[in-house]
Amino acid sequence: MRNDEQHESISDCKGLRKKKTDPPVALVCAIFAAATASSTVKMFSQGKTLAGVMGILIFAALATPIFRILRRAYRRACAHRIAGVLLPLTEESLTFERLGTVLSSSNALEQLQSLIGKGYLQNLRIDSENRTVGLYIPEGALVQWVCASCGAKNRARRGGPMRCKYCDQPRGQ
């Protein structure tokens, strides 16, 4: 199973999808925004206040798509990072405190809520009453086995590293 396919179990396609038009749109908007900023400064220096104000409005209109593209890329990267951290876990739920520890962030819960709300993450359920985050694990995603070395029962995600959590021996040895 490819790494991108594994992330789809937690991360939504919105979190993985890149728009092909983003780089060209951002480039064109940046070029026109730079020209508009230059013209706006010139208009204000010549005393043409109304033209300068119009230049500011046009600059804002051209900067908005760039800001949105960068924000979407940042959210995609955050969703991908969170999915990559949560994917190897075999627990069905995490406490808010453990979530902060696993994600190495003090605002992990707020970030998770935001990404779920915007559609960048799926298969996660936040239970505020019990202060837990439930991880949906599809059937067949986990493999259970008994370690040949120490006899301990183990559980890991299919396609992931299969080592005994007690003696650290790989599966089958």
Residue-wise pLDDT tens for the chain (173 aa)? 344 444 444 544 454 456 677 888 889 999 999 999 999 999 999 999 999 999 999 999 999 999 999 998 899 888 888 888 887 777 778 888 888 888 888 888 888 888 888 888 877 888 888 888 887 766 666 778 888 888 888 877 776 677 888 888 887 75
Place of tokens 């008994």: 146
| The token pair that represents 141 in the structure block | 């995603």
Binning the chain into helix, strand and coil, the percentages to the nearest 5 are 50, 15, 35
DSSP state of 163: B
The answer to whether the CB of 83 falls within 8 A of the CB of 11 is yes
C-alpha 60/C-alpha 88 separation (Å) is 43
What b/e sequence results for 85-120 when a residue is b if at least 16 CB atoms lie within 10 Å of its CB, and e otherwise? bbbeeeeeebebeebeebbebeebbebbbebbeeeb
Distance CA 76, CA 17 (A): 8
Among residues 93, 102, 87, 79, the alpha carbon closest in space to that of 135 is found at 93
| Residue 123 exposure: Cα atoms within 13 Å on the Cβ side | 20
Q: What is the three-class DSSP state of 144? A: strand
pLDDT of residue 141: 67
User: H/E element holding 34?
Assistant: helix 22-45
What is the model's pLDDT at position 39?
95
Q: Which residues pair with 76 in a beta bridge?
A: none
Contact 12, 120 (CB under 8 A): yes
